[in-house]
Amino acid sequence: MNKVVKRILTGLLVILLLIQLIRIDKTNPTSDPSQDLIAILQPPDELGHIIKSACYDCHSHHSTYPWYTNIAPISFWIKHHINEGRHHLNFSEWGTYADKRAHHKLEECYEEVLEGHMPLPSYLWMHPEARIDDRQRKSLAGWFEDQMSKYNPE
């Protein structure tokens, strides 16, 4: 190996070691339990369990941070996913959504679940408990679709 390659590899190793000192914030924001989607819409137990196991890590203030979130840059990537997930849809803040927004979010949930876009395949690699079979997928999508009628999209 020539000197340039060794220096590049050494530099990359040093950077990798130094970024381990940068820790992500793993605290979940506080939230009012009465504003949570499950408290408000009261899905059947099976569907509530699916929503919690397949959605809540990224789409609520109930995120859990597994051991590998202690390793940078993986931790940065996961924290970014959580922040993006909460930004687009936060089940912990469901009760604060206006009817039009709630209707739209339910419509998106219906489409994303039915089409198999959610949960994300990258999430399922490390979270097999979040896998949902076709029956569960159709049932959950149907429930999201049924809930749309509770909100006026105007």
Residue 51, pLDDT > 90, answer: yes
Buried-state track 113-126, b at ≥16 Cβ within 10 A, e below 16? bbeeebbeeebeee
pLDDT for the residue 30 = 94
Q: How does DSSP classify residue 113?
A: H
3-state helix, strand, coil in the chain (%, to 5): 70, 0, 30
- Give the tens place of pLDDT for each residue, 9-44: 988 988 888 889 899 999 999 999 999 999 999 999
Q: How confident is the model at residue 49 (pLDDT cuts 50, 70, 90)?
A: very high
Question: Phi/psi of residue 10, each to 5°?
Answer: -65, -45
Q: How does DSSP classify residue 118?
A: S
Q: For residue 105, give Cα distances in angstroms to 85, 102, 140.
A: 12, 5, 14
Q: For residue 24, give Cα distances in angstroms to 19, 82, 90, 145.
A: 11, 11, 20, 36
Of the listed ranges 22-26, 49-53, 73-77, 123-127, the least confidently predicted one is 123-127
Q: How confident is the model at residue 154 (pLDDT cuts 50, 70, 90)?
A: confident
- Mean pLDDT, range 101-106, rounded to an integer: 96
Question: Phi/psi of residue 138, each to 5°?
Answer: -65, -40
| Domain spans in the chain, listed from the N-terminal domain onward | 26-150
Residue 95, pLDDT > 90, answer: yes
Q: How confident is the model at residue 48 (pLDDT cuts 50, 70, 90)?
A: very high
